[in-house]
Amino acid sequence: MPTGNVVLVGFMGAGKSVCGRLLARRLGRCFVETDDMIVARDGRPIPVIFRQDGEDVFRRLETEAVAALRLKSSDVIATGGGLPCREGRMDALRELGTVVWLRGDLAELLARARRTGARPMLNGRTPEEIESLYRAREPFYARAHLTVDTAGLGIDQVVARLVGALRGPHAARL
Residues of the shown chain interacting with ligand S3P in the complex, contacts defined by CB under 6 A: 12, 16-17, 35, 46, 80-82, 119-121
Output DSSP code: residue 104.
-
Q: Where are any strands of DSSP class E within 14-169?
A: 31-33, 76-78, 97-103, 146-149
Residue 102 makes CB contacts below 8 A (sequence gap 6+) with 8, 9, 10, 14, 15, 16, 19, 148, 150, 158
Instruction: Give least dist CB 167 to ligand S3P, A.
Output: 26
Name which of 44 and 174 has its Cβ closer to ligand S3P: 44
Nearer to ligand S3P, 45 or 174 (CB): 45
CB of 46 to ligand S3P, least distance (A): 5
C-beta closer to ligand S3P: residue 2 or 120:
120
CB of 55 to ligand S3P, least distance (A): 8
Question: Shortest Cβ distance from residue 51 to ligand S3P (Å)?
Answer: 11
Shortest distance in whole angstroms from residue 9 CB to ligand S3P: 9
Quote helix, strand, coil % in the chain, to nearest 5: 55, 15, 35
Nearest residue to 104 via CA among 38, 36, 8: 8
Of 4 and 120, nearer to ligand S3P (C-beta) is: 120
Q: Which of 95, 47, 97, 103 is nearest to 77 (CA)?
A: 97
Q: Which is nearer to ligand S3P, 13 or 97 (CB)?
A: 13
